[in-house]
Amino acid sequence: MGVKIEGIITPILTPMFDDESINEKELRNQVDRLIDAGVSGIFCFGTNGESYILSDAEKEFVLKVVIEQTAHRVPVYAGTGCPGTKDTIRMSQMAEKLGADVLSIICPYFAAANQHEIYNHYKTVNDNVDLPIVIYNIPPRTGNKVLPETIKKLSVLKNIKGVKDSSGDFQNMLKYLDATEDLPDFSVLAGNDALILPNLFFGGKGAIAGCSNIYPKQIVSIYNLFREGKIEEAKKAQKSINPLRATFRYGNPNTIIKTAVRLLGYPVGPCRAPFNEISPEGLEELKKVLEENRKVGME
């Protein structure tokens, strides 16, 4: 039986020391913390894992550690997308060899790509690996969109099993769901944490949720409450993360998230420079939100 791509999957941050080297001990601790909170998967090298700034050797090291520490308790997702097809295949085969369960492949980025090029990129990777692939659509970061019609064409390939939509465009996510509605094993995942519950309402399978690095139990509860039919409680859980998300206006969202985890007492370090600054005003607002959430028992 294949991996079920569903639930709350955490794009785990990459703990670092002040000199920007990888903090293996804390990485292992975060894996255990997330699994204990009930997440459905651990995703290495998403935006929150700082995939954009880690070397290939660092990625291999982190993935080895996470796979070992996870010990088959939940699936391990590996973000292996690169701007070029050849490098994406190389990184994907590395992850497959190490024992990853699922590949997450970001849309080719920096250079403009048309839909035919994007289709060929994913098809070629599909033909060179044997793991399920989740397409990662995040046009604000890549400059390229994977259109719903391209998702429809890709979804029939043997290894293309899902898409994470981080566009923030609810209509786009709905179009992904419509394009793949005849494929019950295909997963449309929210990449914007504000859309976890809407994704589930309209037939999606869950989310790759950055905020679950901070409040894994709270984010997991959105999914669990929905599955239990406790819709009003699920709505309340979804709304509870709005004040935290409002602090994203003070900096790079994954910088905010890593700072928040550090403020909760975990030695995850700062994001790697230069993406590591929050204004004094933003830091105070983040501290205020975390304290208010602590008082109501969020974790």
Long-range contacts of 259-264 (CB under 8 A, 24+ apart): 259/283, 259/286, 260/213, 260/214, 260/286, 260/290, 261/13, 261/213, 261/214, 263/287, 263/290, 264/214, 264/290
To which residue do tokens 């992850």 refer? Answer: 95
d(CA 58, CA 43): 15
Our CA angle for 101, 237, 262, nearest 5°, is 65
**Active site annotation includes 164:** yes
Q: Are 7 and 39 in contact (CB under 8 A)?
A: yes
- Residue 265 CB partners (closer than 8 Å, separation 6+): none
Q: How are beta strands 102-106 and 41-44 bridged, if at all?
A: unpaired
Selection from 48, 108, 35, 37 nearest residue 76 by Cα = 35
Query: Among the options 77, 122, 136, 215, which is catalytic?
Result: 136
CA distances from 152 to 26, 96, 114, 137, 200 (A): 40, 25, 16, 14, 20
Q: Please give the helix or strand (H or E) that residue 148 lies within, else none.
A: helix 148-154
User: Which amino acid belongs to residue 139?
Assistant: P
Query: Among the options 59, 77, 119, 164, which is catalytic?
Result: 164
End-to-end CA distance of the chain: 33
d(CA 88, CA 209): 23
**Active-site amino acid positions:** 136, 164
